[in-house]
Amino acid sequence: MGQNKYSEEKLIRPPEKVMRLDRMGSSHQTRLSFMRSLARRMSNEKWKFKCLRRDIDDNGFGVSVYAVNTTKRTYSLIAFTQDIPPNKRTDRVIAEVWDATFSLFDGIPTQKDIDYLALNTPKQEGGRFRPSELVLARANKSLRLFEHVISSLAKGNQPDIKLLSSVGYLMRTTAVYGSGKFGCADRGKIANREECKGAFQIELLAVYLIRWFTIDLVEYIAKKRGGNKSTKLDPSISQSLGIGNSTGLGMAPFLLKHPLLVHNLIMAKETALARVRAIKTPNNETIDSFTKSLERVSQHLSEWVVDDNMQTDRINCLKDEVKSLINWSSGESVFNNYYPWNSIYEHAEDYYSLECQEIIVSLIIEPHGYLVDDLADTMFSESIPKINVKMEISDLKKIIKIYYNWAINIDFTKPKSQYHFWYYSEDKLEPRFGSRKNDSGSDQEMPLAIGRDVNDLNEVLLNNKDDILVGQFVLENPQFRHIIRRIQNTLQAPYSEIQDNLLDESMMPLNLLRFKLAFFGASKFDPKSNLWTRISMYQGAPMPENLSADGFDSWYFPITPKL
C-alpha cells in the first residue's frame, strides 16, 4: 500500500522548492522561531529577572547590570551607556562608538569583572573578551523615539502611540556576537545547557535583556527629569516596543558555513507545516485562532511601512491577498471539508505571491503548538560534516545530478554568472560583496561559490572513471576536497544547500538575511539596500513581569495596542 497523499511524508515541501532565494527572501517568523521558543522556555521555567545595579547619571550614562535566574544558572547583562556625537552614530560594522554596549556575563559579575569590561566592551571588536563573557553587542538610540518617550513620560504623559508604532523600538542593535567571537566563550562551553541548546538562544537572551534595559532606561531618565510629575510607560506600550536591529552581510557567510544547522532549522519548519497540512479534521479552537490571526495580520500589514519601493509593493500585494484569502476561506466553507489546512496552503500556492504563501505557512502553523512545538528542540546542530572517502565516484555523480542540477546547468563562462564575489575587508573584517568588474580583491574571494565549485567538479568528474573511490580522487585533486565534503553532506541533509547562484549579477544578499532573521523571529523587515535591512525583534513579546500572563505566547505579527 502506498502512502496516503495527505501523509506528512507526501506533504513535506522538497528542497528544490524551499531552498530558492526568492522564497527564502519571503520568509516570515513562525512559532518555532528562536525568540518565540525562548520566551516559552522563560515562561514555562519561571525565569526571574532583576536589575542588580543602575550606576548611571541623570542622562542615563554609566553602567547597569540586569540579571536573569534560570532554573540552574544566572546570566547578567552588563550595559555601558555613553554620550556620542550624532555624526558618529552609524549602523555599520566599521563604526567606532555606540550609545550603548553590552556584554552578557556567565553568572554575576564581580566589580573586577565590570572594571575589566568597562575597558573592553565599549571598544567592541577592538576589545578582548574571556570565556566568562557569552555575548557582545551594541546598540544606538532611535533618535526620534528616545527623546520623545523620555520627555512625554517626564511630563506625566504617555508617548504618541502612532510615532512609537512607526519605529517600534527605542534602540537598535547593530551587532550581536556570540560563539567565541573576540575571545568570548565558545559554544562548546554552553552547548549542553538545556536553555542554550537551541540555535542562538543565548544571543537572543541577551537581546531580550537589552530590550528590557532600553525600557527601564527611558523610565529612569524620565523620572530624573520629571520627578514626581513623571510616569511610567503603560504596560501595553512597553510590550509593543521591541528592540531594533540592523543586519548586514555577516549573516550570509554564516548560512553557507553551517549547512547541517541550516538543514535542521528548515527540516523543523517544513515538518511542522507538513504535520498541519496532514490534519484531516481540525478542531474549532484552531479554526477560531486562524480566523482571528487573519484579522491580526491585516492590521500588522497596515502598520508595516517602509521606504523601500520593492518591499512596499510586496506589502501592498500582501494586503490584497490576505483580504482575498479571508473572503475565500469564509465563502468556500473550507473548514467543512477534510484537510482544510492543506487546502488553504494549496490555494495560496496557486494564487498568491511567495510573500503571501510564506505568511500563510506561519499562520496555519501558529494555532498548532501542541503538534509542532516539540520540533523546536531539534533546531540545532553540533556535528561537523566529514568526507566519506569510501564513496564511489559514480555515487558522487548521482548526488550531484539529483541535488545540484541547478548548479551544473549554469554557464559560468558568462560574466553575469560570476559577476560578484564575497570577501572580508581589512576594515574590521567587514564582509563585503564586490563586483569583479569594478572591485579589486577577487583573488581573496571567500570560498562561498558553491554552485561554481560544483560545476567545476562536475566537469572534472565527467572525465573520471566511475569505480574509483573519493579517497583516491581527492588525493589527486585536493582542490575539490571542500566541495565533495559538502556534496556528500547534502545527501544526509538535503535542506542544507541554497539552490541558487550566489555570484550571479542578479543576486540579492538581502534574501539570505531575511531568511535567517525570520528564523530568529524578526518582524517588520525594512530593507535599506540589497545588502542590509533593519528589523524589529521581540516587538509585542511579554515583558519579564508578564511572562506568566494568559496569552503570553500570542505575540506573532505584532500590532499597535489599543489603549
Scan residues 458-497 and list those touching other proteins (CB under 8 A): 469, 471, 474-475, 478-485
Residues 341 and 276: beta-carbon distance below 8 Å: yes
* Position 186 contacts other proteins (CB under 8 A): yes
The residues in 389-418 that bind other proteins, with binding defined as CB under 8 A, are: 389-390
* DSSP type of residue 99: S
The residues in 187-226 that bind other proteins, with binding defined as CB under 8 A, are: 187-189
Q: How far apart are CA 521 and CA 126, in angstroms?
A: 29
> Which of 289, 298, 343, 425 is the binder for other proteins (CB under 8 A)?
425
Q: How far is the CB of 533 from other proteins (least distance, A)?
A: 9
Residues 393 and 462: beta-carbon distance below 8 Å: no
Q: How far is the CB of 410 from other proteins (least distance, A)?
A: 20
Of 305 and 402, CB closest to other proteins: 305
* Position 161 contacts other proteins (CB under 8 A): no
* Position 309 contacts other proteins (CB under 8 A): no
* Position 172 contacts other proteins (CB under 8 A): yes
Q: How far apart are CA 555 and CA 521, in angstroms?
A: 10
Residues 297 and 356: beta-carbon distance below 8 Å: no
By CB under 8 A, how many residues form the interface with other proteins? 76
* Position 546 contacts other proteins (CB under 8 A): no
Q: How far apart are CA 274 and CA 416, in angstroms?
A: 37
In what side-by-side order are the strands of the sheet with 62-69? Answer: 48-56, 62-69, 74-81, 100-106, 133-141, 169-177, 242-247, 533-537, 523-527
Of 434 and 558, CB closest to other proteins: 434
> Which of 198, 244, 369, 494 is the binder for other proteins (CB under 8 A)?
244
**If we measure between CA atoms, which residue out of 304, 317, 404, 382 comes closest to residue 356?**
317
> Which of 249, 267, 379, 507 is the binder for other proteins (CB under 8 A)?
249
The residues in 49-88 that bind other proteins, with binding defined as CB under 8 A, are: 86-87
Of 134 and 267, CB closest to other proteins: 134
List the beta bridge partners of residue 120: none
The residues in 117-146 that bind other proteins, with binding defined as CB under 8 A, are: 128, 130-131, 140-145
* DSSP type of residue 55: E
Q: How far is the CB of 492 from other proteins (least distance, A)?
A: 17
**If we measure between CA atoms, which residue out of 66, 82, 314 comes closest to residue 208?**
66
* Position 305 contacts other proteins (CB under 8 A): no
Task: Tell me the residue ranges of DSSP E strands in 213-294.
Answer: 242-247
Of 123 and 155, CB closest to other proteins: 123
* Position 514 contacts other proteins (CB under 8 A): no
Q: How far is the CB of 101 from other proteins (least distance, A)?
A: 16
* Residue 47 CA: distances (Å) to CA of 97, 144, 537, 551: 33, 33, 20, 17
Cα angle vertex 175, ends 169, 181, to 5°? 150
* Position 91 contacts other proteins (CB under 8 A): yes
Of 232 and 485, CB closest to other proteins: 485
Residues 77 and 96: beta-carbon distance below 8 Å: no
Strands 242-247 and 100-106: unpaired
